[in-house]
Amino acid sequence: MVEESFAVAVLAIIATTIIACLPVVLFFWLILRKRPERGKSANDEEKLRHIWNGLQRMEQRIENLETIMAGQRRRDPLDDAARSEDVRAGRLDA
């Protein structure tokens, strides 16, 4: 009988300890689990910064190409075909 009451008391102490410590353990587990996500967000931030820099370089290149293209006369294939017909016909003024 004494052994049974001792076993019940030990089980009660263990159960009470688990119930009391479980929220604390879960709290720290959740905090420690979220830490690697912060590292991922820093990595994501670096990736976004790299993409942003690439897009800015691409925008500058496009602006340079637009400047070059605006300075050149656009060649029209139909214009070239018409000129060659004029040359063949002997009309050099076209």
- The per-residue pLDDT string of the chain (94 residues; one tens digit each, 9 = 90 and over) reads 778 888 888 888 998 888 888 888 888 888 887 765 556 677 888 899 999 999 999 999 999 988 888 877 656 666 666 666 666 666 655 4
| b/e per residue 11-42 (b: at least 16 CB within 10 A) | eeeeeeeeeeeeeeeeeeeeeeeeeeeeeeee
Nearest Cα neighbor of 63 from 51, 71, 75 is 71
The whole-angstrom separation of Cα 44 and Cα 53 is 14
Q: What is the pTM of this model?
A: 0.37
Domain spans in the chain, listed from the N-terminal domain onward: 2-89
Cα angle value 47/53/57 (rounded, 5°): 145
